[in-house]
Amino acid sequence: MDCVKYCPVQICSLCQLKCFPDNPEDVVTNENEDKYVEKLYCGHLVHFGCMNAYMKVPPFQGGKKCPSENCGLRVYHDKWRATPDLAEARWAHQQARERELAEVVDFLD
């Protein structure tokens, strides 16, 4: 019964906005939308877009921790199963790509 009262007012710990809209008809049902609400293994709710961005930035070692205050449990979710090494390698590759593109733009200017 507590979940029914608690979930509609829970705040996404990453963007600090309410997870669910005030009007139930406005709830996002597409799993790939940024405002889609995901429930982490620890029970906290976050927006998909917020969590997806959070999972792609360092630190990666030891696994990503739940961003909710006073939780600190490791994030377990089917959508974010990459190992810390793989996540760091992806991040490093993305950073290198952005640097290369910036150099090309700088060269062409």
At 41-74, the pLDDT tens digits run 888 999 999 999 998 888 888 788 899 888 889 8
As a whole number of angstroms, the distance between CA 72 and CA 42 comes to 9
C-beta pairs of 81-86 under 8 Å, 24+ apart in sequence: 82/55, 84/60, 85/60
Reading the block at residue 8, the tokens are 């509609």
As a whole number of angstroms, the distance between CA 9 and CA 54 comes to 22
Considering the chain, what percentage of its residues have pLDDT values greater than 90? 42
Considering the chain, what percentage of its residues have pLDDT values greater than 70? 95
As a whole number of angstroms, the distance between CA 103 and CA 109 comes to 10
As a whole number of angstroms, the distance between CA 80 and CA 22 comes to 28
